[in-house]
Amino acid sequence: MALQIITHVKRSSAWKRRLDPAPTEAWARRTMDGVTLVALVTFVSLVVVLVARAASDPDAGHALLIIDAGLIGSGYVLLGQFRKFRNTERASRAHAEYRLRSDPVTELPNAEGFAEAIAFHGREAATSQTEIAILCIKLDRLNEIHARLGEACGDELLRDLSGRLVTSFGSSGVVARVGEDMLAVLHPATPEFKAALVGGEINRLMDLPLITPIGDMAVASTIGVNFPARPITSPQNALRQARLAAAAALTSGAAVAFFEPSLDHTQRLHLDLEVELRQALQSGGLEMVYQPQIDETGVIIGAEALMRWPHPTRGPVSPTLFVPLAETAGLAETLGRYAIERSFADSVLWPGLKIAINVSPIQLKSPNFADMVSSLLVQYGVRASHFEFEITEGVLLRAEPVVLDNLEQLRRMGFQIALDDFGTGYSSLGYLSRLPVDKIKIDRCFVTPLGERKDATMIIRAISDLSIALGVKLLAEGVETRAQLDILRAEGCNQAQGHLIGHPMTPDQITALLELSPEARDAQDRSAA
């Protein structure tokens, strides 16, 4: 039954395509052509003659018959022209409706046309016992290819990819383009089709190399699948659920993900949090805490600025949740500016302390970032030499000219640059030599096993040797035990940060800690250990 339904949808789509090339816009605008005008003039002329003749000679029957015949012929021509115009107008409207429901690049149904195909199945689902699958296929590198090779080449590759789906599933399903980098398939959920999904056959079909002007390229894909419950009351919602599954697949790194009700809950939560995050940024509802950093002698030399969101009703919201949320909601630059402003404002309490501020790749890709920081320095009356900006290793892959220019401008102002989470991403001597880095921060994953695994100490030693060769400072994160700290100092790591030294603290707590004597701080450290 589902096969018959979807075949009917395909026939309907084909009928719309047959309408596509039929009329021209000129025909749609024209109310009458030359033949219609001649027929109308003839008709009016004959009427005038008939009236005049009948008035002057009522007995001219032969002439009247001729005139009647002419009137009948003219009327017939006029009627034919009227029908022709009416059919043209209808065809033009159908053509316009088709264009509204189709994608101009692939000639496939767009999201609206695809929703109509889903709706058609929904109307028939009351009597159908056959399940259908709605697939959203995210083409992960299509935007990159568009940017690198140009729109025309990117569109051609998109047509090739959509053609693969049409060839494989077009005879028994509906293929559509429902987003800039997303294709969709409506197909009977047969055991064979489910096996193709689980077995990754559809992913492999989309991942096959494509011919480009610079050589063969592959467009990786992730698939979200929704098996909508019958009856389908909202086609748009059924498609939205497939999109959610595709987003879940992309986030988790899986090739295929299936829609679950929990995804709906997660999306609603994210939407609510996005609204509340915007409000918190406007009202000053976010707070900064600072985790102290020490040198090899145990003196507090700096603190890392960390953002916290004490939500009034939800409780503390983790940065691992609201920071990615800010990036997807387009709030990354606003959030980053907020952190810089608060850190600048708080730093006046500790003139001898260097404050480390995290900066996202999105901020560094902004051409106005350095100028914004410069204006904030003036606004808050602080010195750049009292701060360092921490960048992640992801910046190494995004070392675009604007990023490098921003980093160079920051260093010229007097800021230092620290490379955070070193060793967990894409570090290499080639990248490090290109970036203006003053400090390397060893990730906690290398610090935690110290004292338990011999190779952990060897890794720290190698990183320490690298820092000496590059002439940069070295700081270890996540130091939680005295044994770890001792090993780090023995291997030449001259700075440390972690719970052993101090938990993230409010500005008042940092001030109180700085006021303690060295002996009191040592006692506090021993107590914490």
Which residues form the catalytic set?
477
DSSP assignment of 66-103: HHHHHHHHHHHHHHHHHHHHHHHHHHHHHHHHHHHTB-
Contacts of 447 (CB under 8 A, 6+ apart): 460, 476, 477, 478, 479, 484, 488, 498
DSSP string, 263-316: HHHHHHHHHHHHHHHHHHHHHT--EEEEEEEEETTS-EEEEEEEEEEEETTTEE
Three-state secondary structure call for residue 512 = helix
Q: Outline where 471-506 has alpha helix (H).
A: 482-490
- Are 217 and 145 in contact, with CB atoms under 8 Å apart? yes
Asked whether the beta carbons of 165 and 185 are under 8 A apart, the reply is yes
DSSP track, 422-439: ETSS---HHHHHHS--SE
- Would you state the structure tokens that stand for residue 235, as one six-digit string? 């086609």
Full DSSP string of 188-253: E--HHHHHHHHTTHHHHHHHS-EEETTEEE---EEEEEE-PPSS-S-HHHHHHHHHHHHHHHHHHT
User: Burial level of 162, CB count in 10 A (0-12/13-18/19+)?
Assistant: buried
